[in-house]
Structures are given as C-alpha cells and as structure tokens.
C-alpha cells in the first residue's frame, strides 16, 4: 500500500486523482489529508482541491511531464547504492567545481555528465557542486526558479539517473553538493499557494512574496522546506548543500530557519552515519552564519566570499559599475587576503551605509572564494567569461592567486581550460507574457550595472542556452590544454603543501603596489608573488623566505639578491624546493 498525503489546511475537500478515477481523502490533524491506495510502481497521480483541476503533489519525487503535469510515485529504497564507505575531503583541503547539468555536456543530462567526471578527478577537484536540479518550468534554465523542490528536473533525467551520477562521483572520490533555493519559488508552475499559506503576507523579496517562515501556519511551511533539503542528502546521497541567497530569507523567529535546518541536517548525519555540511551564499558579510549554534551562530560550515572576487575582478578589469564601485585598488585585494572580507563593518559607497561585520575568529576555511562563478559570469549582459577579455597570461595569475589564497577555492565549469563558451542567464517559460516580463526585467537589472544592457542575450531564446554549452573539443587546442595543465599544477601544488590549505588569513604579511599592480605574501615557507600588470616590475622579496622557484607561470623572471624582476603578467611561488614531511598535507 502507498500512503498519499498532502497539507491543505484551507481545503474543504481533497481528492486523490489516479489514472482510473478520483478517490476521496480523509482530513486529519493540522490540515493534513491522507489516503492509502495500492497503485503499481510508477503510477501518475495528482490532488484536486474542492473539486478543482488536478494539481501536482507539492512533495512530488518525480514530474515526468514537467512541473505542470501529474506527479509520479517513486520508490527511493529500491536503488542499490555502492558508496556507503565514501567520505568527502574536509573543507580546508577541498577544491570545488561548480557545474550546470544542462550545459556541462552535449547531452545536458545527468548521464551525459558521467563521462567527464574523470576529467574532474584528474584536475584535482574534490567537490562537485551542482547548480539547482530541482524541477523548474520548461526544458532549460539556471534552476533557481524551481517549483517542485523534491523532484529532479525531468529534462536532466530520472531520479535513478541522478543517483547514478552521484554514485559515479563517489566512485571517483568526488563529493556532491546540491544547490538548493529556499528564499523563493519560480513564477511558473508554483501551485503551493493553492494548497496553503506557503507565502508571507508581511515579507517581500526581490522575486515577490517571501516564503512564510514566521507567520501563522509557518511550522508546516518550514518543515516543507527543510524536508525538501533533506531529500537531496538522504535519497540522493548528497554530501552537502549550497544554500542560495540566505540573506533573502525573511524570518523573525526566535529559532531562525537556518538553525533549524542545521539541526535537522545534523540529525540526518547521525542517522545515516556520514558527515553532511552546509555552505551558504550571503550578501550580508555576516560571520555569524558560520559560528557554531552554541555560540549564537547559524552553524553553517562555510559561506561564499564575494569580496575576494569583487576585489580581484575590479582590479584586473577596471570595471566600476554596480557593486564594483566599492573596489578597484590593490588595497581591497590586500584586505580580502589579510582579513577575509573587505567590508566587515566599513562604509560602502555602493550601499551608502556600513556593511558587514568583523569576527576575529573567522578563518579562510569558512569562506569559499572564486575568480568566476555562475552569477559573476551570468549577471553580465552577454554572459562573457574573463577569457573573452583578458590574455591567457593574466588568467594564469588570477588562478595562481585563487589556489594560494587562504580560502576554499571554487572554479566554474570550463574555467580550467579558458572555455570560450559564455554563460548568460537563460530560461524557458511557457507563458508569452511572462517571457516578455523576464526580457524587460533583465534589461532593467543590467542597466544598473552595465552600459551594454541593450546588447544582452535574449534569456528566452534557445540559442542563448545552446551557446552556453561547454565545447569539450576545445581541449584539442594547444592554448586550452596549456591552461588546463596550469590549473592541474596549481591544484597539485596546493595539495602538496599543507601551508596552502584554507586557514588563517594573511594579516600584515600581504604587500602590494597600487601603481604597479602586484601583490606578494608569505604562507609558511612559501613566498607568493603575483603581478597582473602590462609592464615589467622589480620588487623586494621577503628576506627570510627561501628563493627557489617552486611553480611559475613563466620562466623569464630573475632573482637578484633580495629582489625579483618580473615580466608582465607573472605568477610565481618561491620556496625551499620539495616540501619537508612536516609541510606536506
């Protein structure tokens, strides 16, 4: 027997809709309706409220005909897992790889990603972070407009095909991180308001009404979102979650939603006997996210660090529009390396107020940093990567800084070989009026941070999506193979030396030259020198650090006494040669 249940506290009558007819459901405590039936496995079903049209199950595990169609029963327990001994690398030694299933492979499916996993393993990646795979409207999209939060997106594959992908990752020593969204649902296929008070009457977000996390009947709403997150960890053996834009979670409860989620994940970790972690994206620069719950924090394991990206991007590109207005000099990059966050209580001209909060106990092992990610590429008018505007030599310098900085590094799909594929925003809504709204809204948003908004790629065009697909044939070209070799060497260097793991910030050990665009710092016995300017420079070396080149992006630099002569766009790590046993990871 299968037990069907749905929370619909406002309904007077609820029916279970099956292929052979409708069955009445019995109302229980708390607005829950239940009915037991014995349909064959893989049966399609829906719910009808007060005699209305069939609606998909809010807790559907499968939407075979998309989010507007019937749900389908799934037996997760039937899958034969072989990864029970797998344990992920700890975050301080992790290398994250963010990928979008629909554009990572030519097939754009879970199965299509599997043949490329050996590439990630050989690169040195430890954690594969999947952009949201919860079902959303249409065939293509970024996934941040999901509406069936318990079901994999049908265009990517079946639930078991997602399990196959996770199993294949674990077989190769790759942890899997699911990106989940709790701050809003997409605009098409969102039937939750018909079932109950899932959205707040008091709070608004940039995407509309906020989820009801603190109003009347919010207990069941919070339970819905928390259990939807646990599905990816329990039923799909995910190792962690990346929580989208937690600063947009409108919640005034004494027990904040993130703390309750943390407690639920900890309970699940005990039940399944393996570690599970949480990483949050936040625009608030609030280190209380990563403080333990017993110390008044949310207990999240790490959070994304936009400040490192903004400081580096503004410095090397000269862009100052939007939030880049707060960055642009070497001083901001030094602040990021020395303290983790540039804005930790200081005044932000872009926001016209103080921003962030300082925490002397914060370390780089709590911050995920990047040179590029889906947002920082996709929120540009044409979705152009840095490889479209910067020479390969400078890209190597940026990568060198990422993998020697004291953060947890993340790279975006194709970055490791300098992919030419753009990654603009794209979607596939069925409603023509909604498509027009998205187009105009996209142009308006881009005007605030770009002067080429009118040239933006059409987010609703299929061509925009197809252009974003990685072209793996690029790896047949020498310049792309050379970039890939550089990334491999950097990751191998990071794993070889324990001093290069994520850890304490660099404090006053960071030096820079505003005019000449170079930065240098010491990590243990290693001295890092990065010059991202077009002219040669000469700079003094730390007199106490060894001088043997350990890894360099080019060979035509010279060390003379206590100075190093650097050509344009040069990255170098100097040290004692091979690491001593005590310096190895």
Asked if 129 and 409 touch (Cβ cutoff 8 Å), the reply is no
For residues 465 and 45, what is the distance between their CA atoms, to the nearest angstrom? 32
For residues 197 and 212, what is the distance between their CA atoms, to the nearest angstrom? 7
User: Which residues have C-beta within 8 Å of that of residue 210, sequence separation ≥ 6?
Assistant: 183, 184, 199, 200, 203, 204, 248, 249, 250
For residues 195 and 379, what is the distance between their CA atoms, to the nearest angstrom? 34
Report DSSP state, residue 542: P
Q: Positive or negative CA dihedral for 156, 157, 160, 164?
A: negative
* Block residue for tokens 């169609």: 69
**Distances in whole angstroms, Cα of residue 438 to Cα of each of 294, 427, 445:** 43, 9, 10
For residues 97 and 423, what is the distance between their CA atoms, to the nearest angstrom? 15
Structure tokens at 68: 């507007």
Report DSSP state, residue 541: P
Question: Is beta strand 96-99 parallel, antiparallel or unpaired with respect to 408-412?
Answer: parallel
E-assigned strands of 339-485? 346-348, 353-355, 367-370, 408-412
The answer to whether residue 244 is catalytic is yes
- Go through the chain and tell me how many residues it has: 585
The SS3 call for residue 280 is: strand
The separation between CA 529 and the C-alpha centre of its own chain, rounded to angstroms, equals: 29
User: Which residues have C-beta within 8 Å of that of residue 489, sequence separation ≥ 6?
Assistant: 551
CB-based burial label for 556 (10 Å; 0-12, 13-18, 19+): exposed
Closest CA to 152 of 112, 109, 214: 109
Of 179, 244, 260, 428, the active-site residue reads 244
CB-based burial label for 292 (10 Å; 0-12, 13-18, 19+): exposed
For residues 424 and 444, what is the distance between their CA atoms, to the nearest angstrom? 15
For residues 160 and 143, what is the distance between their CA atoms, to the nearest angstrom? 19
Of 239, 259, 260, 281, the active-site residue reads 281
Q: What backbone phi and psi angles, to 5 degrees, belong to 302?
A: -160, 165
Asked if 180 and 145 touch (Cβ cutoff 8 Å), the reply is no
Q: How many CA atoms lie within 13 A of 571 on its CB side?
A: 21
Residues annotated as catalytic are: 244, 281
């Amino acid at each position: 027997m299968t037990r069907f249940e749905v929370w619909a506290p406002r309904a007077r009558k609820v029916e279970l809709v099956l292929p052979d007819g409708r069955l009445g459901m019995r109302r229980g405590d708390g607005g829950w309706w239940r009915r037991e039936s014995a349909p064959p496995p893989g049966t399609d079903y829906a719910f009808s409220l007060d005699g209305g049209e069939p609606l998909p199950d809010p807790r559907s595990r499968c939407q075979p005909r998309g989010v507007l169609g019937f749900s389908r029963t799934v037996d997760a327990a039937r899958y034969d897992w072989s990864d029970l001994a797998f344990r992920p690398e700890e975050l301080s030694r992790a290398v994250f790889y963010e990928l979008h299933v629909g554009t990572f492979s030519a097939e754009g499916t879970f199965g299509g990603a599997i043949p490329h996993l050996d590439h990630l393993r050989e690169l040195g990646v430890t954690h594969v972070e999947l952009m949201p795979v919860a079902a959303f409207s249409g065939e293509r999209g970024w996934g941040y407009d999901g509406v069936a939060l318990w079901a994999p997106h049908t265009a990517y594959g079946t639930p078991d095909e997602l399990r196959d992908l996770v199993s294949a990752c674990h077989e190769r020593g790759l942890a899997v991180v699911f990106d989940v969204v709790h701050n809003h649902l997409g605009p098409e296929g969102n039937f939750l308001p018909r079932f109950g008070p899932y959205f707040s009457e008091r709070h608004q977000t940039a995407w509309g009404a906020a989820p009801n996390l603190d109003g009347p009947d919010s207990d069941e709403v919070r339970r819905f979102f928390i259990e939807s997150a646990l599905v990816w960890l329990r039923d799909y053996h995910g190792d962690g979650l990346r929580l989208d834009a937690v600063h947009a979670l409108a919640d005034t409860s004494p027990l904040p939603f993130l703390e309750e989620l943390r407690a639920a994940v900890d309970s699940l970790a005990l039940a399944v006997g393996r570690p599970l972690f949480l990483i949050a994206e936040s625009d608030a620069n609030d280190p209380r996210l990563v403080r333990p719950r017993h110390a008044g924090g949310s207990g999240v394991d790490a959070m994304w660090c936009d400040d490192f990206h903004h400081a580096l991007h503004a410095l090397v590109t000269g862009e100052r529009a939007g939030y880049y207005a707060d960055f642009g000099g070497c001083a901001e990059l030094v602040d990021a390396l020395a303290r983790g966050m540039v804005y930790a209580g200081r005044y932000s001209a872009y926001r016209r107020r103080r921003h962030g909060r300082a925490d002397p106990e914060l370390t780089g092992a709590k911050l995920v940093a990047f040179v590029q990610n889906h947002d920082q590429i996709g929120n540009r008018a044409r979705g152009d990567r840095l490889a479209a505007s910067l020479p390969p030599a400078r890209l190597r310098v940026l990568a060198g800084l990422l993998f020697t900085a004291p953060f947890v590094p993340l790279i975006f799909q194709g970055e490791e070989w300098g992919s030419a594929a753009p990654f603009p925003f794209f979607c596939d809504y069925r409603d023509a009026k909604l498509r027009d709204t998205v187009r105009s809204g996209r142009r308006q948003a881009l005007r605030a941070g770009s002067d080429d908004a009118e040239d933006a790629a059409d987010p609703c065009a299929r061509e925009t999506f197809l252009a974003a697909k990685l072209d793996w044939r690029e790896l047949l070209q020498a310049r792309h193979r050379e970039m890939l070799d550089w990334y491999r060497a950097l990751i191998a260097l990071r794993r070889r030396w324990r001093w290069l793991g994520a850890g304490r910030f660099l404090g006053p050990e960071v030096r820079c030259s505003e005019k000449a665009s170079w930065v240098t710092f010491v990590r243990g016995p290693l001295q890092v020198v990065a010059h991202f300017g077009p002219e040669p420079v000469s700079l003094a070396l730390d007199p106490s650090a060894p001088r043997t080149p350990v890894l360099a992006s080019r060979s035509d630099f010279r060390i003379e006494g206590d100075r190093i002569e650097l050509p344009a766009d040069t990255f170098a790590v100097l040290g004692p040669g091979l690491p001593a046993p005590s310096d190895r990871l």
